[in-house]
Amino acid sequence: MTVSDFENFRTNFFDQLSKGNKKCLNVIDANSKLVEYYLNSKDLTYVKIFLNDFNNLVLNPSFEKYKLLKSVLKHPLLTPVADQFRESDVLVKACKKGNRNAIEWLLTMDVNLGVQDELGRTALMYAVRYTSMDYIVKKIMKTKGKHILAVDNKGNNALFFATENMLTFKEFLKYKENYDLNYRNKDGENAIMFSCRYGKITQEEYFEYLYKLMEVDPEYTNVEGKTLPMYLAEHFKYRELKWLAKKIKIDPNFKSKLGHTLFSCLVKKYYENYTKYITDTKGFGYNYSFFKSALVTFVTLTEMGCNINEPIDEDGTKATEVLLKLKDVITYSYLVSKGAEEINCFVEDKKNPDDKYPGVDITDPVVQENIKTSQKWLKQGLKDNEDQTMAYLSDLANRNWFYDSSPTTLLMLNTIKSAINVVKK
């Protein structure tokens, strides 16, 4: 009885089982001594290999011969396999994939609902993210086991995962008596801060709903040294920021121990997203909402009283420096009109390899075209916040001089400066 013999048995068995052929049970009987030797020993190596193949079949959405699967697990020679099956993460994976048929069957097989995957997540944590799996959540919650309060590797319980969207959270809130709504995970976040950090807030109404249920301290920082308002700024949630500012007092220039401010978080995230999107060769038009939301967030933070001249990092980098490296003259012009420091040189003659914000490659035709498009979007968005003079300033962003590094660039920058002075007056 060699390993090769076991592999031949395994191949033959799963070939029959995958076809839904009941003869797979005969294959077990015909190889009883082999099965007993490899799948009934204290060493579970081959049991786990066999079970991995079995679970993959369970998770296959095109395979639904669940009665046959149950018969296989009930075979006397496969008791160790059945025991390991009940303790495996097969239900977790099924919930992660949203395989409803497999989940329904697995819930009849007495599987351990407290099993966690490599991230520490349970089946419940994945199920609560889908509105279509509410009935599954209901079945799991009825068991009232310790798994209901389980936390993943980061200390997040099921309530955190239910914040995926407003519908899933409202639905899961019927079980709120099981949870402390202000419980904080290992990163120091409650569910509302968690949802803001990971971009779960897709509508103002949802944020307002969470706010009424949970504590919000505008100066409380998590493991990253950031506050809830900072995460709203990073996700360009200007509506939520405005609404929150009316409810509680927000210090627009609060700086965390790690040096983060509302404005620095906004500028850094804007740079990160801008440099990623500006190189898009297809579907750049889908980025319209990003540019518009980002611009209005700049306006919102400026109106809130953020110090737009405060360096955004320990190196003393100013927001206007970053914006000019992005060739975003619209946002730059807006900030300068509001008192931000002007930059003396538009384009550096030498690139610094250690520069945190190297900017964009304006020699790339794709980048050039996308900059032109995005500047038009930003100009349009700014009309709701500025007068005709600022609209004229933003119009300069569409001119050809903007995309090269010739001396003409400096000359045109002087033109912008002159126009900005008009706005200041």
Judge whether 151 lies within some domain.
no
Q: How many CB atoms lie within 10 A of CB 398?
A: 15
Show the tokens assigned to 129. Answer: 């993210």
The set of residues, in sequence order, having a beta carbon less than 8 Å from that of 191 and lying 6+ positions away, is: 159, 160, 163, 181, 183, 210, 214
The answer to whether residues 393 and 266 belong to one domain is: yes
Number of domains making up the chain: 2
Judge whether 140 lies within some domain.
no
Q: What is the pLDDT of residue 415?
A: 42
Sign of CA dihedral 103, 106, 108, 112: negative
The answer to whether residues 338 and 418 belong to one domain is: yes
- Residue ending a domain, among 225, 255, 285, is 255
The answer to whether residues 293 and 423 belong to one domain is: yes
The answer to whether residues 307 and 360 belong to one domain is: yes
The answer to whether residues 194 and 275 belong to one domain is: no
Q: In whole angstroms, how far apart are CA 107 and each of 100, 102, 172, 422?
A: 11, 9, 19, 71
The answer to whether residues 285 and 202 belong to one domain is: no
Judge whether 310 lies within some domain.
yes
Query: To 10 degrees, what angle do helices 45-58 and 3-18 make?
Result: 20
The answer to whether residues 229 and 376 belong to one domain is: no
**CATH classification at residue 217:** 1.25.40.20
The answer to whether residues 306 and 265 belong to one domain is: yes
The answer to whether residues 220 and 289 belong to one domain is: no
Judge whether 113 lies within some domain.
no
The whole-angstrom separation of Cα 246 and Cα 273 is: 28
The whole-angstrom separation of Cα 320 and Cα 328 is: 9
Judge whether 169 lies within some domain.
no
Q: Kindly report the pTM of this predicted structure.
A: 0.86
pLDDT, one tens digit for every residue, the chain (425 residues): 799 999 999 999 999 999 999 999 999 999 999 999 999 988 899 999 999 999 999 999 999 899 999 999 999 999 999 999 999 999 999 999 999 999 999 999 999 999 999 999 999 999 999 988 998 999 999 998 899 999 999 999 999 999 999 999 999 999 999 999 999 999 999 999 999 999 999 999 999 999 999 999 999 999 999 999 999 999 999 999 999 999 999 999 999 999 999 999 999 999 999 999 999 999 999 999 999 999 999 999 999 999 999 999 999 999 999 999 999 988 998 998 889 988 865 444 456 677 889 999 888 999 999 999 998 898 887 765 555 335 445 455 454 444 444 544 554 455 455 444 433 44
- Residue ending a domain, among 238, 255, 272, is 255
The whole-angstrom separation of Cα 116 and Cα 98 is: 16
The answer to whether residues 201 and 289 belong to one domain is: no
Judge whether 210 lies within some domain.
yes
The answer to whether residues 214 and 358 belong to one domain is: no
Which structural domain, as residue segments, surrounds residue 219? 180-255
Judge whether 320 lies within some domain.
yes
The answer to whether residues 278 and 322 belong to one domain is: yes
The set of residues, in sequence order, having a beta carbon less than 8 Å from that of 89 and lying 6+ positions away, is: 115, 116, 117
Judge whether 59 lies within some domain.
no
- Residue ending a domain, among 193, 223, 255, is 255
